[in-house]
């Protein structure tokens, strides 16, 4: 030990110790009373000083100098470490109540925060029981979406204009400046500790090879320096990754909230669900990785710079050799990378087209199943997938070329530099210096690995820049322009006879500046009911949307007393939740008396009484557990509960049967109805003339203009009554048939719970089944080859240095050959991963998923949220395409490298071989504890993310309703809560990964420090052995970090495989194994329809139809009435343009689409979204035109692939509520088309309808029939 004899120095040390002790007491007392955590300065002081004193005491003991100094140092160190333990003890048990719910991160002390000790409690819970959302600790305040949402919205609204390509980047930098800077600090410490390792290796080798050992004080300093370097690298890297994860999650939360906020301001007719979903998922994920790439880039550049300085000190003028190789490889990579950005955009666009098509198809599966076009659409989706994989293949091939050139740098730089150094030394007849040689190798590792990473970052920057552009393009798109003016003067206390809405000379234009409404003048007064009627496409719904502000008036003035208007759409928008939550819609607290009143007014009391859970029934996404009429009445009840003074009813009673409709209308709009009593101004859009008597004023629209208006009596000559069917039978109560009762609460069975803790090895079998045998074997073979040739060079150098007088040329050539084999292996590894493994698995799994989903019966789509299914095709397939192949390959690579490095280290350090079994046991126990928790967090993450996406799609569906009621702030808050819920498991998973990384690196660090300790104190170590071992420690640390990150990504990716496997195993299929009897090839030839004692429904064991017997002869019409319980026209692509045009002309839609064009090809080849928008009635006409077109296709009206002449097949035509939204004139035209196109040609036609007036006169005596159904049973057949 170093002796200190100066008494003055001892006195100064004693004085400083006394001052420190007093400071410890004061600081500890103050922080205990006034802070949730211990003083970080105090914890750091106690840790450093305690360890220093104990190490000094051990050194005194080792020198056999037992005197008072050893006793003093031991006692002091023990006291300091005891105080450290006490300071690090959690104070959560004595927190005040308001602080007990804080996140663990906010109450963790320095030691707990740096070592992630606070995660131990979570690990203990995860190993004892199954996690639920409520078991997860909350997010800390800095990560919660509410605060970040306000900051990001303010920053975006105050951004510099006009926008540039860097606008979004500047906004994010402004809102996350502090996090951005604090994340850089541990990254700089990583650089410091990384670059210290070559110098440490040189110092240790010099000391070991020195014939004259220095004092024991120097040995102590070497051991302490090694401990500081290795432990510092561990904790700085873990803190950097932790802060990077926090910044990434913060960005995701901010950007997701911003996308949602923008969505709420997007016009409903311009909203693109597929594009918005892509932006919120793929682009947000990519943008959130940008800061970590920047920090890595800066850190790598610093590492290269310092590494070159160290290299120059060792090899003198040879230090530019790596720079020459870097320049050459960068030029090759730059040439290859020119087209990466374009190929990435092509891939993303192909994915977006596929997802948009799937969203449309899955949302219309009832029609798809009824039309029998499942196979055609499956083929269409498969073609889209093929195009997507083709675009992906182009991008992946460029990635292979780029990585091949980038990897050449890391592989050849050390070999060429060391070989040149050895040759020059041999020519100069200078013996190789072991210390210089291994320091050079370590310095080259520091130079080449960061330089290689810098080059691989470049294509990622290009891909992320494309995401920045798409996100910014989405955000700067024109928002909805609400041009309505609020007349504040016309809002007196008494509403009676006051104007609520006034339209003056209003004109609204659609796409291509075509007029939809022209010169509209009308007033809507409080307490009055105004009915708007007219033919299909006359502009009725457009008028309602103009009043709501969804469509802006190109000319004229829309004045409203309030922009908050009650709105009930033709297709009701229903939020997910319980019946009561939907009706009360964000109300807190709930007015129970008002709630019961609106339920009764909308005739929902009887329905709720039949629900097993009453008004606590979870209706599911889009109200999948309710009938159409129930959804409509719940929407009306929600409108009444909201208490809005102005309401717009857009054919809001069309889904109700006659008796229920009459009762609800009487309760709402009758003389003593709810809306009348409360003086509400009502605009009711309907063609049901039998209800015009309830109106104070009737307006008739035609071609966008008001043609007639007046009282109901005055309008009688211009309208006809359309009556719905009323079934009279006292045996059944006058209420709607019970809904399809179902609970959407997921029941977690024991097998799933067990999997969440223990995992499922069958996932690997399922995945490798999709890849085939050759692809994974090729990947593993290339990986193992690369691992061997990547690790051998270090041992090769040792062998070279130990053999004095050996042939330098042979060893140099051998070194370069090893490098070439490693480069060839890593290039083969990249190609087999991206172009073989990823392509095969992506194609197989998507096709299997599509076949399984499209083959499911209609009941599956009724019970399953469309957001969940889209998540399978979107996020899960995206993971299979982009993350899983790379994760598997990276994990396999690091495993092979780790194995090779341990073997070589054991060969050169036999002591390490004895430690390997112990380390293996520790690693096994650690990973077992880790996996039991991480798997559960992954499941919770996937569930929360699915809920977030479902809510996003739900909002898209209800944009007009949300804005009409003024619920933007409420739904935005709900989205913020969903974002927070989705971020909690992600954050905990990241922290858990950091915990695992620290534990594993501490194992390696222990081995490294033990090697140094044995080397400096053993006295018989050779410099080559210690050089190889410590160089391998550098490689092992890097391998370990990559191994943990690869394993983490693999775990996330396997979540996608788990869900795809579940879909494959549990999704019911329409074609059951026992259904072996196939219809004849030419079926149906005659079109006879026989239902014999049929019981069926949307769900298993929940029949809607009960024991129904019906017979319809060939060429007849059967009317079923009672209570409700180029591609778009021809998905099979077999009908020519002439027949498609004829179908559109027969339904009067050709003139709607044609405009300035008259060529069929010009119109049929355009996207439907680019043509004139269709009203609800016109959409029904379009469906009829599609049915007409199918007569001309070359194959039968089924999913059979065999071509059959059309004249021999007489498909049965099913028309389900075809005229529900039509006026009487259009209804007459529609049934004329049905008679001409189907009945006269001998087709059997089944019509499901509530309205009989347009049908009764067309029924043929003895051939046609009417079947009356009620509560799922046939009452009678007439």
Q: What is the DSSP string of 1074-1139?
A: T--PPPPTT--SS--EEEEEEEE-SBTTB-SEEEEEEEE-TT-EEEEEE-----SS-TTS-S-HHH
Pick from 1066, 1081, 1100: which residue ends a domain?
1066
* pLDDT at residue 971 tops 70: yes
Stated length of the chain: 1278
Residue position matching structure tokens 């890297």:
237
Our count of domains for the chain comes to 4
Reading the block at residue 176, the tokens are 């996350």
- Residues 969 and 1025 reside in one and the same domain: yes
Confirm whether 1083 is domain-assigned.
no
* Separation between Cα atoms, residue 647 and residue 644, nearest integer Å: 7
As a whole number of angstroms, the distance between CA 766 and CA 844 comes to 11
Q: Which residue intervals of 1174-1257 are DSSP H helices?
A: 1176-1190, 1224-1234, 1253-1256
- Encode pLDDT of 61-96 as tens digits: 655 555 666 667 777 778 877 887 887 777 777 777
One domain, residues 570 and 454: no
Q: What is the pLDDT of residue 6?
A: 55
- What average pLDDT is seen over the chain? 77
Report helix, strand or coil for 705.
strand
Question: What does the pLDDT read at residue 1072?
Answer: 66
Cα distances from 1096 to residues 333, 589, 630, 1092, in angstroms, run 63, 41, 20, 12
- CATH of residue 472's domain is 1.20.1560.10
Tell me how far apart the alpha carbons of residues 459 and 1018 are, in angstroms, rounded to a whole number: 49
- Assess whether 865 and 998 both reside in one domain: yes
Name, of 183-197, 708-722, 1080-1094, 1259-1273, the range with top average pLDDT.
183-197
pLDDT score of 754: 43
- Per the domain annotation, does 852 fall within a domain? yes
**DSSP tag of 164:** -
pLDDT-derived band at 751, boundaries 50, 70, 90: very low
Q: Is the peptide bond before 162 cis (omega within 30 degrees of 0)?
A: yes
The pLDDT value recorded for residue 120 is 85
Taking CA 767 as the corner, what is the angle to CA 763 and CA 768, rounded to the nearest 5 degrees?
115
Whether 577 and 684 share a structural domain: yes
The residues, ordered by sequence, that sit 6+ positions from 1082 with a Cβ below 8 Å of its Cβ are 1196, 1204, 1208, 1209
Crossing angle (nearest 10°) for helices 968-1018 and 119-128 = 100
**262: its two tokens:** 């923008």
Q: What's phi and psi for 463, nearest 5 deg? A: -65, -40
The answer to whether residue 683 scores a pLDDT higher than 90 is: yes
What are 379-407's pLDDT values in tens digits?
A: 888 888 999 999 888 888 888 887 787 77
Six token digits for residue 69:
């100094």
Considering only residues 267 and 847, tell me which one the structure prediction assigns the higher pLDDT.
847
The reply to whether 454 falls in a domain is yes
The three state secondary structure string of 753-766 is HHHHHHCCCHHHHH
Asked whether residue 961 falls in the same domain as residue 922, the answer is: yes
- Indicate if 150 and 73 belong to the same structural domain: no
Domain assignment of residue 810, given as a range = 130-477+755-1066
Tokens of 666: 């009487």
- 560, 526 contact by CB (below 8 A): no
Q: Does pLDDT of 703 surpass 70?
A: yes
Closest CA to 898 of 1052, 992, 759, 786: 786
Task: Report the CATH number at residue 605.
Answer: 3.40.50.300
Rounded-to-integer distance, Cα 1215 and Cα 1248, Å: 6
- Rounded to 10 deg, the angle between the 838-854 and 374-427 helix axes is 160
Roughly what angle, to the nearest 10 degrees, separates helices 7-34 and 68-87?
20
Map tokens 């789509």 to a residue.
861
- Rounded-to-integer distance, Cα 366 and Cα 299, Å: 56
String of b and e for 553-568 (b: at least 16 CB within 10 Å)? beebebbbbbebbbbb
Residue with tokens 């093929």: 386
Q: Write the DSSP symbol of residue 739.
A: P
pLDDT over 70 (residue 237):
yes
- Cβ atoms within 10 Å, residue 596: 12
Ramachandran region, residue 711 (left: φ > 0; alpha: ψ -120 to 50; beta: rest): beta
Cα–Cα distances (Å) from 99 to 95, 102, 104, 987, in that order, read 6, 6, 11, 21
Examine the domain organization and report whether 98 and 134 are in the same domain.
no
Pick from 562-576, 595-609, 1079-1093, 1175-1189: least confident: 1079-1093
1159 Cβ neighbours under 8 A, 6+ residues apart: none
pLDDT band (50, 70, 90) for residue 750 = very low
Do 993 and 865 reside in the same domain of the chain?
A: yes
Q: Beta 1105-1112 vs 1089-1096: how paired, if at all? A: antiparallel
Q: Could you tell me if residue 584 is inside a domain?
A: yes
Chain centroid to CA 1105: how far? 39
Q: Which range, of 814-818, 1154-1158, 1165-1169, averages the lowest pLDDT?
A: 1154-1158
Q: Which of the two residues, 1116 and 1076, has the higher pLDDT score?
A: 1076
Mean pLDDT lowest among 41-45, 322-326, 488-492, 737-741 = 737-741
Give the DSSP H or E segment for 500: strand 499-509
Q: Rounded distance, CA 615 to CA 607, Å?
A: 9
Residue with tokens 């569906």: 957
Among 673, 693, 719, identify where a domain stops.
719
**DSSP secondary structure string, 416-448?**
HHHHHHHHHHHHTTPPPPHHHHHHHHHHHHHHH
The pLDDT-based confidence of 318 (bands split at 50, 70, 90) is: confident
CA distance 83 to 95: 21
Residue 61's H or E segment, with its range, is helix 40-62
Burial 875-906 (b: 16+ CB within 10 A, else e): bbbbbbbbbbbbbbbbbbbbbbbbebbbebbb
Q: Which residues does residue 485 pair with via DSSP β-bridges, in sequence order? A: 559
In a domain, 1202, yes or no: no
Same domain as 582, residue 666: yes
Question: Six-digit token pair at 742?
Answer: 């179902």
**Whether residues 30 and 155 fall in one domain:** no
Whether 737 is in a domain gets the answer no
Decide if 1214 contacts 1158 (C-beta within 8 A): no
∠ CA 54-55-59, nearest 5°, is 115
Give me the half-sphere count of Cα atoms (radius 13 Å) on the Cβ side of residue 1177: 30
Given a contact cutoff of 8 angstroms between Cβ atoms, the answer to whether 1 and 58 are in contact is no
Report if residue 545 sits inside a domain. Answer: yes
Radius of gyration of the chain (CA): 37
Q: Which of 347, 287, 297 is nearest to 469 (CA)?
A: 287
Positive or negative, the CA dihedral 914, 915, 918, 920 is negative
pLDDT at 12 over 70: yes
- Count the helix, strand and coil residues of the chain and give each as a percent rounded to the nearest 5: 65, 10, 25
Q: Are residues 145 and 11 in the same domain?
A: no
Helix residue ranges, H only, 670-773: 674-677, 712-715, 750-758, 762-771
Helices in 265-364 by DSSP H: which ranges?
Answer: 273-278, 284-288, 290-315, 320-337, 340-362
What are the tens digits of pLDDT across the range 475-517?
888 888 888 888 754 444 445 558 889 999 999 887 667 788 8
Alpha helix segments (H runs only) across 476-604: 540-548, 579-584, 592-601
- Tell whether 55 and 106 lie within a shared domain: yes
Side-chain half-sphere CA neighbours of 931 within 13 A? 17
Among 121, 155, 190, the domain-final residue is 121
The region, left, alpha or beta by phi > 0 then psi within -120 to 50, assigned to residue 431 is beta
Is pLDDT larger for residue 291 or for residue 458? Answer: 291
Does 1082 fall in a domain? no
Nearest to 869 by CA among 628, 377, 977, 877: 877
pLDDT of amino acid 1202: 43
- Name the E strands within 676-806: 681-685, 697-702, 705-710
């Amino acid at each position: 030990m170093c002796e200190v004899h100066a008494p003055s120095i001892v006195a100064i040390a004693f004085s400083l110790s006394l001052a420190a002790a007093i400071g410890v007491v004061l600081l500890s007392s103050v922080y205990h009373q006034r802070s949730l955590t211990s003083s970080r300065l105090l914890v750091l002081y106690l840790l450093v000083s305690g360890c220093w004193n104990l190490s000094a005491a051990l050194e005194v003991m080792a020198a056999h100098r037992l005197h008072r100094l050893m006793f003093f140092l031991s006692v002091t160190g023990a006291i300091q470490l005891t105080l450290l333990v006490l300071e690090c003890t959690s104070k959560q048990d004595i927190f005040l109540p308001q602080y007990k719910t804080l996140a663990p991160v906010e109450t963790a002390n320095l030691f707990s925060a740096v070592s992630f000790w606070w995660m131990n409690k979570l690990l203990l819970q995860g190993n004892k029981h199954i996690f639920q959302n409520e078991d997860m600790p909350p997010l800390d305040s800095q990560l919660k979406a509410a605060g970040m949402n306000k900051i990001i919205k303010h920053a975006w609204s105050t951004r510099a204009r006009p926008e540039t390509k860097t606008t979004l980047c500047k906004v994010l930098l402004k809102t996350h400046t502090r996090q951005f800077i604090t994340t850089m600090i541990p990254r700089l410490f990583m650089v410091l500790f990384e670059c210290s390792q070559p110098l440490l290796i040189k110092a240790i080798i010099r000391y070991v090879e020195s014939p004259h050992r220095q004092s024991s004080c120097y040995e102590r300093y070497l051991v302490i320096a090694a401990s500081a370097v290795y432990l510092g690298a561990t904790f700085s890297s873990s803190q950097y990754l932790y802060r990077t994860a926090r910044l990434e999650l913060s960005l995701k939360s901010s950007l997701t909230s911003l996308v949602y906020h923008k969505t709420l301001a997007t016009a409903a007719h311009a909203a693109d669900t597929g594009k918005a979903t892509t932006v919120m998922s793929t682009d947000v994920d990519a943008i959130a990785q940008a800061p970590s790439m920047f920090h890595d880039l800066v850190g790598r550049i610093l590492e290269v710079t310092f590494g070159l300085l160290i290299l120059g000190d060792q090899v003198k003028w040879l230090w530019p050799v790596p720079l020459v190789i870097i320049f050459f490889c960068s030029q090759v990579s730059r040439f290859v990378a020119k087209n990466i950005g374009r190929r990435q955009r092509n891939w993303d666009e192909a994915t977006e087209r596929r997802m948009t098509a799937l969203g449309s198809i899955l949302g219309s599966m009832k029609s798809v199943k009824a039309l029998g076009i499942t196979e055609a659409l499956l083929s269409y989706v498969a073609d889209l997938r093929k195009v997507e994989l083709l675009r992906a293949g182009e991008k992946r091939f460029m990635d292979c070329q780029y990585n091949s050139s980038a990897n050449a740098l890391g592989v050849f730089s050390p070999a060429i530099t060391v070989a040149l150094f050895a040759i020059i030394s041999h020519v100069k007849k200078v013996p190789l210096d072991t210390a210089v040689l291994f320091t050079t190798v370590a310095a080259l590792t520091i130079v080449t690995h960061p330089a290689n990473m810098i080059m691989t970052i470049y294509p990622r920057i290009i891909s992320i820049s494309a995401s920045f552009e798409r996100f910014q393009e989405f955000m700067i798109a024109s928002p909805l322009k609400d041009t309505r003016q609020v007349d504040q003067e016309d809002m007196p206390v008494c509403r009676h006879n006051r104007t609520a809405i006034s339209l003056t000379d209003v004109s609204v234009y659609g796409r291509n500046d075509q007029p939809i409404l022209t010169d509209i003048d009308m007033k809507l007064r409080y307490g009055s009911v105004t009915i708007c009627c007219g033919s299909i496409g006359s502009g009725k719904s457009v008028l309602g949307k103009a009043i709501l502000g969804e469509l802006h008036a190109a000319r004229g003035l829309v004045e409203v007393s309030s922009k908050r208007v009650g709105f009930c759409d033709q297709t009701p928008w229903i939020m997910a939740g319980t019946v009561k939550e939907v009706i009360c819609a964000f109300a807190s607290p709930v007015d129970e008396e008002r709630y019961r009143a609106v339920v009764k007014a909308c005739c929902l009391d009887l329905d709720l009484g039949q629900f097993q859970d009453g008004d606590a029934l979870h209706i599911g996404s889009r109200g999948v557990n309710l009938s159409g009429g129930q959804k409509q009445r719940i929407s009306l009840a929600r409108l009444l509960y909201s208490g809005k003074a102005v309401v717009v009813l857009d054919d809001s009673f069309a889904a109700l049967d006659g008796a229920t409709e009459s009762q609800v209308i009487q309760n709402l709009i009758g003389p003593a109805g709810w809306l009348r009593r409360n003086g509400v101004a009502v605009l009711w859009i309907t063609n049901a003339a039998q209800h015009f008597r309830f109106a104070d004023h009737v307006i008739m629209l035609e071609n966008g203009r008001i043609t007639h208006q007046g009282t109901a009596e005055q309008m009688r000559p211009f309208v006809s009554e359309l009556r719905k069917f009323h079934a009279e039978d006292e045996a059944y109560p006058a209420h709607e048939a019970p809904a399809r009762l179902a609970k959407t609460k997921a029941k977690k069975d024991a097998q799933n719970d067990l999997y969440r803790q223990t995992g499922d090895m069958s996932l690997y079998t399922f995945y490798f089944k999709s890849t085939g045998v050759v692809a994974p074997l090729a990947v593993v073979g290339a990986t193992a080859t690369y691992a061997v040739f990547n690790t051998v060079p270090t041992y090769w150098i040792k062998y070279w240095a130990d053999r004095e007088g050996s042939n330098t040329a042979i060893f140099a050539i051998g070194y370069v050959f090893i490098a070439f084999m490693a480069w060839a292996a890593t290039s083969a590894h990249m190609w087999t991963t991206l172009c073989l493994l990823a392509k095969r698995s992506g194609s197989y799994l998507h096709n299997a998923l599509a076949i399984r989903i499209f083959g499911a019966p209609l009941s599956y789509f009724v019970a399953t949220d469309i957001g969940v299914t889209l998540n399978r095709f979107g996020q899960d397939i995206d993971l299979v395409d982009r993350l899983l192949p790379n994760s598997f390959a990276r994990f396999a690579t690091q495993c092979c490298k780790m194995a090779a490095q341990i073997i070589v280290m054991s060969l050169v350090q036999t002591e390490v071989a004895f430690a390997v079994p112990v380390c293996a046991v520790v690693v096994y126990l650690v990973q077992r504890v880790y996996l039991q928790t991480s798997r559960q967090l992954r499941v919770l993450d996937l569930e929360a993310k699915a809920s977030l996406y479902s809510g996003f799609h739900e909002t898209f569906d209800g944009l007009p309703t949300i804005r009409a009621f003024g619920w933007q702030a409420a739904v935005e808050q709900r989205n913020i809560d969903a974002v927070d819920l989705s971020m909690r498991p992600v954050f905990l998973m990241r922290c858990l990964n950091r915990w695992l990384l620290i534990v594993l690196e501490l194992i390696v660090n222990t081995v490294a420090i033990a090697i140094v300790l044995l080397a400096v104190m053993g006295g018989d170590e050779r410099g080559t052995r210690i050089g190889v071992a410590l160089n391998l420690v550098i490689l092992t640390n890097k391998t370990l970090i990559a191994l943990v990150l690869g394993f983490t990504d693999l775990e996330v990716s396997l979540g996608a495989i788990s869900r795809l496997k579940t879909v494959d195993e549990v999704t019911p299929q329409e074609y059951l194994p026992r259904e072996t009897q196939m219809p004849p090839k030419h079926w149906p030839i005659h079109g006879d329809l026989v239902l014999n004692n049929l019981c069926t429904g949307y769900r298993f064991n929940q029949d809607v139809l009960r024991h129904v017997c019906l017979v319809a002869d060939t060429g007849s019409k059967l009317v079923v009435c009672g209570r409700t319980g180029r591609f778009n026209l021809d998905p099979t692509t077999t009908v020519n343009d002439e027949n498609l045009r004829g179908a559109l002309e027969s339904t009067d839609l050709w003139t709607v689409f044609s405009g300035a064009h008259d060529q069929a090809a010009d119109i049929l080849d355009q996207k439907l979204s680019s043509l004139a928008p269709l009203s609800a009635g016109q959409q029904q006409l379009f469906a009829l035109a599609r049915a007409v077109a199918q007569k001309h296709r070359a194959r039968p009206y089924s999913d059979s692939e065999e071509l059959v002449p059309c004249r021999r097949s007489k498909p049965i035509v099913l028309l389900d509520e075809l005229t529900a939204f039509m006026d009487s004139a259009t209804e007459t035209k529609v049934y004329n088309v049905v008679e001409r196109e189907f009945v006269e040609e001998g087709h059997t036609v089944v019509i499901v309808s509530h309205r009989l007036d347009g049908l009764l006169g067309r029924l043929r005596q003895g051939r046609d029939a009417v079947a009356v159904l009620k509560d799922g049973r046939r009452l009678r057949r007439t």
